[in-house]
Amino acid sequence: MSAFNAIGEDREIDRNEFTPGIEPQATWCPGCGDFGVLKALKQALPEVGLTPEEVLTVTGIGCSGKLNSYLDTYGFHTIHGRSLPVARAAKLANDGLEVIAAGGDGDGYGIGGNHFMHTARENHDMTYIVFNNEVFGLTKGQTSPTSPKGHTSKTTPHGNAKSPIRPLSLALTSGATYIARTAAVNPNQAKEIIKEAIEHDGFAHIDFLTQCPTWNKDARQYVPYVDVQESDDYDFDVTDRQEAQEMMFETENELYEGTVLTGRYFVDERPSYQDQKKELGEMPEEPLAERYFDDDAEWERSYDLLDRHK
Amino acid sequence: MSDHELIWRIAGGSGDGIDSTSQNFAKALMRSGLDVFTHRHYPSRIRGGHTYVEIRAAGHDVQSRGDGYNFLLSLGDSFARNPQEEAYYGNEEIKPLAENLDDLREGGIIVYDSGLVSEEDVEELNLEERAEENDWHVFPIDLRSLAKEHGREVMRNTAGVGVTAALLEMDLEHIEDLMEDAMPEKILEPNLTILHDAYEMVQEDYEFEHDLRIPEGEHHEEQALLSGSNAIAYGSIDAGCRFIAGYPMTPWTDVFTIMSQHLPDMGGISEQVEDEIAAAALAVGASHAGVKAMSGSSGGGFALMSEPLGLAEMTETPIVLLESMRAGPSTGMPTKPEQGDLEFTLYTSQGDSARVVFAPGTIAEAYEQTRLAFHIAYEYQIPTIIIYDQKLSGENTNVPVSFFDRDPEPSLGSVATEDEIAEMPHDTSGKFHRFQHDVDDGVSPRSLPGQKGGRYLATGNEHTPEGHISEDADNRVAQMDRRMAKLEAIREELETEHESNQTYFGDETADFGIITWGSSQGAVEEAVARLNDQGHAVKAVGVSDMMPFPENEITEFIESVDQAMVVEMNATAQFRGLIQKELGRYGDKLTSLLKYNGNPFEPAEIVEGYEVNVDGGDAEPSAQVRIEPAAGD
């Protein structure tokens, strides 16, 4: 008998299975964009055939970090900015798991910025959803790495002197192989993008625009969105790095000024880190965690290494 | 104890092959039946700079570098002489002869490379007069030309070994064997020729008046020569560890590279990552998913790990972390040992955080306690830390091969099977009570992601039994008490089910005691043997359990003596502080012998420390060591 029977289980799954049955329910504010991510995930997971027990959601700290409190999968609510290193190690240890990491813009692009760059570079096979509401919500509305220039808050009373981070461009130059932006007010697109990201074999980054009605009423997340894939005005090839780069640049400029553009920006077939490691003989073919439950496994020991010391 | 021992020092510039030469020579000495101990002194630079390695060899057990040395092979530094490379290597003058004479014992031998050590240098040293005073036997030999004649200049190390063997009347057999194993055909032949030429030249051309000869010894079983880093890496492998994540930092890098070289071939994974926060967080992630995992660093890197360490405690994720100390604060002295991170390692992380900390004192203990650290971590779902230092990392000594002949331990400890999970409490939505309150030893069995029926949320926030974030007062107390109960359970297991990690030596009836920890143990052990030989009643204990602290054992030890001296390599008496904190008394009974100049204790310094303590004198034992009196004195 396998130790991880939930992995690969094939049955009809109801989206309600992903809802924890007990209180407390979400402590997010009424109208919070985070509900949109939760809803889209609950719809996407059964549609790609995943059961709650074969999914591991790893979150950081902040409002976004509470995602897996309200989503009934295996979950790991870590610490501020550290969801990615925990998540990618879990995937390395057991690549049968579906690993989804999530965090906010402060969590993911600020304190966790270094991990974001390197996880994308290594192209770990996982999905990373960043709840981008351009503000620190849970600590009561301070300026975040994605707040626009001039943004005023308690920490920037005279306006933010810094230009915002460009998460899509950053993901691209770092090496992510699936990059998209979606928005909480656009649930159908969000669900489809999450499904694609999960099925993508590599590091899939979703910059998920989530409105914060409590702390960031000025943000443009309430305006209608234009889906770049559905509009005739935007024609570019998502597999062409150059075209994707130009399109991202335009999108990231417009977010604060003109139209809010969403959709897929880059999809690449570069092999995932896990596949490359396996090819080099640096990672076992079978999930490493299974080995501990395999009664026939031959455990090598250091005694055989002593020859060189004799 | 026989006084007959060889302490051979090979000195020269970093990058001149001193390390590999000495490693081979140490192994040859071991193969000839001797017990060996190596000590490496090197600067924080890759090429150039003064470096030496000492090999102590005797027919009896050796636990430290010893006091001083009795054979100097001074190679000279080729880089300082090379004008083209001066700009790159700097013009720092390396004086491998001048810098090494202070510790050379009376009657000792000096071989210096007259091809590389300038006559002016020798004249400046007033060598002839000093040699006469100290009864040194000086052999200026042009090793460089000898090496050039048959091969390349760099092979002068081999010539030096040949000269050493001849002067000590040592058989070349083991040295030849090792060279044949280690060298490719192309360089083997010239090296062998150089070795023999040097050997024969000394035998034919020189008269020996010195008494030093190769000591005699015999091993009754096969030995392996390995470092503390080797022992920790092998202990991890045998404990079933198959995942390591790390970031390079001296001296922890040794373990990291050893593991990286072996783990993939054993079906494991090694990850070099962006920083130490990530490294420890990866260990947490891998362990959470069901693999025995470790990470580690040295002081500055370990500082970054305090976040994931706390996360592991709160989520009860087992991990093993290594802390290989070097002198601090901040970047400190990268290549010099100190025992200055004890308090940092014990109390890192916010809140009432608990972990298990072992401090092995010898290379054999390093292997043993690494295995134990994994066992405890996975049984009790708690981070365990092995604290050691640059000295233990890099020193080599021989250990019987049979010591390592044990089975691997792939058990994940308190992980429940799916059948067991099915029998355990769940809430109405099917969530597993992974953090149950009602367990005796604090350990609530865990499930792994992907197991059927085991769904739960692991969170770094305080949480309910099924993992929901909670600030409920009753739940908080229950969860805190349960996590804290683990340490008591571990203390009990360590006391009853394992052999003591503490090492006792000396005269059991003595009323003067020495207490030490970690790698200072070897020098203390030798000092105590010497004091006992001189008729002084002294006993000692080398403590390895830092947390939970062995209260009963140490209380008993202190109660059995009138006075105890705590020996450690730091300036603030951290371990003495720990003893007083844990036992709540003995401030008036404990003195300290402290050393923090970057070099480990030598046995003679501890003997002097004893003498000052017992005589009640005010004199410090030496300029490099400090005595801290008992509280109130």
**Which tokens hold the place of B58?**
């005797």
Peptide bond before residue A24 is cis, with ω within 30 degrees of 0 = yes
Q: Side chain identity at A3, as an amino acid letter? A: A
Chain A interface mutation, best of B309, B459, B469, highest count of A Cβ atoms under 10 Å: B459
Which pLDDT score is estimated for B317?
98
CB pair distance less than 8 Å for A302 and B237: yes
pTM above 0.90, yes or no: yes
Residue B291: its chain A contacts at CB < 8 A? 93-94, 288-289, 292
Chain A interface mutation, best of B174, B284, B313, B314, highest count of A Cβ atoms under 10 Å: B284
Q: Which A positions 136-155 lie with beta carbon below 8 A of chain B?
A: none
Query: Which value, to the nearest 10 degrees, does the dihedral of the CA atoms of residues B399, B401, B407, B409 take?
Result: 30
Contact B144, B115 (CB under 8 A): yes
Looking at the complex, report in whole angstroms how far the Cα of residue A81 sits from the nearest Cα belonging to chain B: 10
Q: What is the mean pLDDT of chain A?
A: 94
* Residue indicated by tokens 């798991």: A97
Chain B interface includes A52 (CB < 8 A): yes
**What is the average per-residue pLDDT within A55-65?**
96
- Please give the Cα distance from A89 to B285 (Å, whole number): 5
CB pair distance less than 8 Å for A58 and B428: no
Statement: residue B2 has pLDDT above 50: no
Looking at the complex, report in whole angstroms how far the Cα of residue B165 sits from the nearest Cα belonging to chain A: 20
Which pLDDT score is estimated for B90?
45
Nearest CA in chain A to B24: A309
Chain A interface mutation, best of B29, B227, B242, B317, highest count of A Cβ atoms under 10 Å: B242
Contact B48, B81 (CB under 8 A): no
Q: Side chain identity at B616, as an amino acid letter? A: G
Measured at the CA of A53, the angle between CA A49 and CA A55, to 5 degrees, comes to: 65
Which pLDDT score is estimated for A22?
59
**Which tokens hold the place of B270?**
């090694």
**What is the average per-residue pLDDT within A226-253?**
95
Looking at the complex, report in whole angstroms how far the Cα of residue B624 sits from the nearest Cα belonging to chain A: 35
Per-residue confidence band for B275, with pLDDT thresholds at 50, 70 and 90: very high
The residues near A231 (Cβ < 8 Å, ≥ 6 apart) are none
Chain B interface includes A298 (CB < 8 A): no
Which pLDDT score is estimated for B618?
61
Give strand pairing partners of A178.
A204, A267
> Kind and range of the H or E element at B550?
none
Q: What is the secondary structure of A227-294 as a DSSP string?
A: ETTT-TT----TT-HHHHHHHHHHHHHHTTTS-EEEEEEEE--PPPHHHHHHHTTSS-SS-GGGGGG-
Chain B interface includes A85 (CB < 8 A): yes
Which pLDDT score is estimated for B355?
97
Q: How far apart are the first and last CA of chain B?
A: 36
C-alpha to C-alpha distances, A259 to A167, A224, A248, A253, B42, nearest whole angstrom: 17, 8, 13, 9, 62
Which pLDDT score is estimated for B123?
86
Closest residue to A6, CB basis, from B223, B273, B452: B452
Per-residue confidence band for B86, with pLDDT thresholds at 50, 70 and 90: very low
Looking at the complex, report in whole angstroms how far the Cα of residue B225 sits from the nearest Cα belonging to chain A: 5
Chain A interface mutation, best of B222, B291, B396, highest count of A Cβ atoms under 10 Å: B291
Q: Which ranges of chain A does DSSP label H, i.e. alpha helix?
A: 34-47, 83-93, 105, 113-122, 167-174, 187-199, 241-254, 273-279
Burial class (CB in 10 A: 0-12, 13-18, 19+), A140: exposed
* Residue indicated by tokens 């059948």: B419
- The one-character DSSP state at B305 is T
Closest residue to A85, CB basis, from B281, B293, B455: B281
Least confident of A256-265, A300-309, B227-236, B301-310: A256-265
Per-residue confidence band for A45, with pLDDT thresholds at 50, 70 and 90: very high
Nearest CA in chain A to B174: A310
ipTM value: 0.97
Residue A283: its chain B contacts at CB < 8 A? 264, 269
Chains A–B, number of C-beta pairs less than 8 Å apart: 237
Statement: residue B553 has pLDDT above 60: yes
Which pLDDT score is estimated for B1?
38
Statement: residue B77 has pLDDT above 80: no
Q: Going by DSSP bridges, is the β-strand pair B538-543/B512-517 parallel, antiparallel, or unpaired?
A: parallel
Chain A interface mutation, best of B23, B27, B177, B288, highest count of A Cβ atoms under 10 Å: B288
**Which tokens hold the place of B97?**
């002869």
* Residues present in chain A in total: 310
Looking at the complex, report in whole angstroms how far the Cα of residue A295 sits from the nearest Cα belonging to chain B: 10
Q: What is the mean pLDDT of chain B?
A: 93
Nearest CA in chain A to B467: A69
Peptide bond before residue B337 is cis, with ω within 30 degrees of 0 = no
Residue A175: its chain B contacts at CB < 8 A? none
Chain B interface includes A22 (CB < 8 A): yes
B258: left (phi over 0), alpha (psi -120 to 50) or beta: alpha
Q: How many CB atoms lie within 10 A of CB B537?
A: 14
Statement: residue B203 has pLDDT above 90: yes
Residue A88: its chain B contacts at CB < 8 A? 282, 285
Closest residue to A299, CB basis, from B222, B289, B410: B410
Statement: residue A141 has pLDDT above 90: yes
